[in-house]
Each structure stands twice: as C-alpha cells, then as structure tokens.
C-alpha cells in the first residue's frame, strides 16, 4: 500500500456521507488485510492499550533506514479495519519517515478523531505508538 492507497481511502470517505456507511467501509478495509500468521498471536505481538485484541508483527528488514512492513490483525471487525487504515498510512515508508510522520491530520481529515469511541481512539493511538517504536528500534 502506498500514499495513493491513503488518497483513495480519503476520497472514498469524502464520497460517503453517512457514518454508518463509513464504518462499513472501514470494516471492508479490514477484510483486505493480508492473512495474519497464527504463530504471531503471542503476547510479544499484542498491542497493549487496545480493548479488542490487536496484533502487529514487523517483518524482517535490512539496512540502516529500512522500509518497514507490518502485518496486523484484530478480533473485532471495526478494529481490524482501523489496523488496515494505519498500515496503509505507514506502508512503504522508511523507519525515519515513520518516526517523523504523525497520522493525526489523517484522523482529523477522515473524522475518526470525532467519531470513534474513546476506547477505540486509545487503541488506534496505541497501534501508532507501537509502529513508531518499531521504527525507532529499526534505526538503532
């Protein structure tokens, strides 16, 4: 996924007037996630701070400032869609870009900052924090 994927998501969101339709769209995004390996559902992959179970796995990388790739999953449909959204935002970015890029503007553009429950917002931010920490680790 690239910035064009995010641009496509933003366009789709603008086209959908009703928040129920937008929620269905987010759920559909989750259906397109790559299969998540069962052996990566342990505690070390679980994102802390999410009410639902969320797992993120960084794939192996090489180099000093690598492009990072993540797999993600959740046991809740809407949260799985949020995982897909976050992964689309960060996919294809180098570790240094991930650290510098904050998706807050994206969340405001999509209206998610206003329409998610506080628990889901906290979980979304926990995913972002985890991905940024993984990017920081990749630079060491």
Distance CA 43, CA 104 (A): 27
pLDDT (tens digit, 9 = 90+) per residue, 48-89? 987 899 999 999 999 999 999 999 999 999 999 999 999 999
Q: What stretches in the chain show pLDDT beneath 50? A: 1-2
Q: Six-digit token pair at 64?
A: 């000093």
Distance CA 134, CA 29 (A): 23
- pTM of the full predicted structure? 0.91
Q: Which domain holds residue 35?
A: 3-139
Number of domains in the chain: 1
C-alpha closest to that of 58 among 1, 137, 140: 137
For position 3, what pLDDT does the model report? 59
CATH number of domain containing 118: 3.90.1010.10
Residues 130, 47 contacting (CB under 8 angstroms): yes
DSSP secondary-structure letter at 64? S
For position 36, what pLDDT does the model report? 97
List active site positions. 50
Average pLDDT, the chain: 91
């Amino acid at each position: 996924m690239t910035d064009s994927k995010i641009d496509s998501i933003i366009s789709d969101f603008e086209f959908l007037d009703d928040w129920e339709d937008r929620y269905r769209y987010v759920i559909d995004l989750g259906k397109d996630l790559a299969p998540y390996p069962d052996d990566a559902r342990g505690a070390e992959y679980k994102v802390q701070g999410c009410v639902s179970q969320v797992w993120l796995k960084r794939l192996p990388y090489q180099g000093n400032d690598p492009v990072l790739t993540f797999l993600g999953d959740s046991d809740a449909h809407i949260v799985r869609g949020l995982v897909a959204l976050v992964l689309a935002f960060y996919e294809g970015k180098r570790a240094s870009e991930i650290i510098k890029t904050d998706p807050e503007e994206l969340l405001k553009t999509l209206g998610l900052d206003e329409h998610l429950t506080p628990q889901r917002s906290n979980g979304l931010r926990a995913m972002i924090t985890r991905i940024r920490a993984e990017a920081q680790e990749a630079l060491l």
